[in-house]
């Protein structure tokens, strides 16, 4: 399996990494067998977190590391924000993983400015991580961010991280365009390695898995981390990586037009709808809708399985308060639309822009507590 260097570190990661979240769904013997299979097929990057099953994922990986630690690179994460808590978390992770050190340690879910303030403050998590590095328990430091490119940009300015992990897929490309447009170029300029997560958009792109993986692999990333809870899924992902050919720009644009998950509802942020005669920044409002619920509620009647998947994933990142607070400062907002229809004539993707503005406004001013189904 192809390997790529991680930023300015000396680590070389296999193009496909194995995430540990879905290992908590398996009996220990099945989880261990899948990890061995991944390593036997040429993979070398194992990633987990203390929060995955309250240490269950780390314990399962640890059984493999008892005999194969030298064959792989190991990463884990912690959401603890203080020095004392993160040091305790590191000790627990090393114990469960049966190793003296990890190659990469993540500040987990660095999604908010408040998190950056806490981890960089005196006695914050980064002080503990630095201490663990001096003690040889951590080689390199990273952070993960799921939903706020602007916070990731700030993180890259406040601490010399070695790597970051962000969600990259052809669906969320239009909900969080800042990942590709700003964060990746900034990371590259600093020699910070980029790891991709969620290439299948949390399973939303399951019907076009190979296309989804090709899209993410074609970005300037070191490694794409996937989860697997069956042999079939793991072997399929490996096969796609082994036969990977990059998407060129023309193919990407064609897929943006044809991808059924994008359809005629998701705004591609092309800006062709502007200028609006009423001065509405239409793409910005749809960007906030994407931050609110990933543009997944589109009022299309679907079969129960599709509806349930969308309903489960739309608030997966828990970012709706941020989107609503920002929309409250937008002027003019979507209600300024007089339904002239000029925007719809110019939209190259055939979106019903006027109706979508109404839908987006409904979401962004709705103060009822939305469903929040994320599970760690």
Q: Is the dihedral of CA 362, 365, 367, 372 positive or negative?
A: positive
pLDDT at 374 over 80: no
- Residue 368: the pLDDT is 76
Mean pLDDT over 87-95 rounds to 98
How many CB atoms within 10 Å of residue 302? Answer: 11
Cβ(341)–Cβ(354) below 8 Å: yes
- Range(s) within the chain of domains with CATH label 3.20.20.100: 3-253
Residue 116 has φ and ψ, to the nearest 5°, of -60, -40
pLDDT at 371 over 60: no
CA 296 to chain centre: 16
How many CB atoms within 10 Å of residue 56? Answer: 19
pLDDT at 365 over 60: yes
- Residue 263: the pLDDT is 96
38: CB partners within 8 A, 6+ apart: 18, 46, 228, 234, 238
Residue range 179-223, pLDDT digits in tens = 999 999 999 999 999 999 999 999 999 999 999 999 999 999 999
d(CA 180, CA 199): 13
Helix (H) or strand (E) holding 343: helix 342-346
Cβ(128)–Cβ(90) below 8 Å: yes
What topology is assigned to 3-253 in CATH? TIM Barrel (3.20.20)
Residue range 277-325, pLDDT digits in tens = 999 999 999 999 999 999 999 999 999 999 999 999 999 998 899 999 9
Q: Which residue pairs from 367-373 have beta carbons closer than 8 angstroms and sit at least 24 positions apart in sequence?
A: 367/324, 370/293, 370/315, 370/320, 371/311, 371/314, 371/315, 372/315, 372/318, 373/311, 373/312, 373/313, 373/315, 373/316
Mean pLDDT over 13-39 rounds to 97
| CB-based burial, 340-362: b 16+ in 10 Å, e otherwise | eeebbeebebebebbebbebbbe
Tokens of 219: 């970005």
Q: How confident is the model at residue 370 (pLDDT cuts 50, 70, 90)?
A: low
pLDDT at 375 over 80: no
pLDDT at 373 over 80: no
Entry pTM: 0.94
Cβ(269)–Cβ(177) below 8 Å: yes
């Amino acid at each position: 399996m192809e390997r790529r260097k991680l930023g300015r570190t000396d680590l070389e990661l296999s193009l496909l990494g194995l995430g540990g979240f879905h290992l908590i769904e398996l009996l220990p013997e099945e989880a261990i067998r899948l990890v061995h299979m991944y390593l036997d097929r040429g993979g070398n990057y194992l990633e987990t977190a203390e929060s995955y099953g309250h240490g269950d994922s780390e314990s399962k990986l640890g059984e493999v590391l008892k005999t194969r630690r030298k064959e792989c690179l190991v990463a884990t994460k912690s959401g603890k924000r203080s020095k004392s808590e993160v040091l305790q978390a590191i000790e627990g992770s090393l114990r469960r993983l049966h190793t003296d050190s990890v190659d990469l340690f993540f500040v987990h879910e660095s999604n908010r400015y408040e998190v950056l303030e806490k981890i960089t403050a005196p006695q914050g998590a980064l002080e503990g991580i630095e201490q663990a590095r001096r003690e040889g328990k951590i080689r390199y430091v990273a952070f993960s961010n799921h939903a706020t490119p602007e916070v990731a940009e700030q993180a890259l300015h406040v601490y010399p991280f070695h790597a970051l992990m962000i969600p990259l897929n052809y669906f969320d490309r239009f909900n969080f365009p800042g990942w590709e447009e700003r964060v990746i170029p900034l990371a590259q300029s600093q020699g910070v390695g980029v790891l991709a997560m969620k290439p299948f958009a949390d399973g939303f792109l399951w019907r076009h898995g190979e296309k989804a993986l090709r899209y993410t692999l074609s970005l300037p990333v070191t490694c794409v981390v996937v989860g697997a809870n069956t042999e079939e899924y793991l072997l399929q992902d490996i096969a796609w990586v082994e036969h990977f050919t990059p998407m060129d720009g023309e193919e990407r644009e064609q897929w943006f037009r044809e991808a059924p998950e994008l359809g005629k509802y998701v705004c591609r942020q092309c800006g062709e709808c502007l200028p609006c005669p009423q001065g509405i920044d239409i793409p910005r409002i749809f960007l906030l809708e994407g931050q609110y619920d990933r543009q997944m509620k589109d009022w299309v009647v679907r079969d129960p399985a599709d509806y349930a998947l969308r309903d489960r994933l739309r608030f997966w990142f828990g970012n709706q308060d941020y989107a609503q607070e920002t929309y409250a400062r937008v002027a003019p907002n979507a209600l300024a639309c007089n339904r002239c229809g000029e925007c719809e004539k110019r939209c190259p993707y055939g979106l019903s822009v006027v109706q979508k503005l109404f839908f987006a406004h409904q979401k962004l001013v709705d103060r009822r507590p939305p469903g929040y189904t994320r599970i760690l």
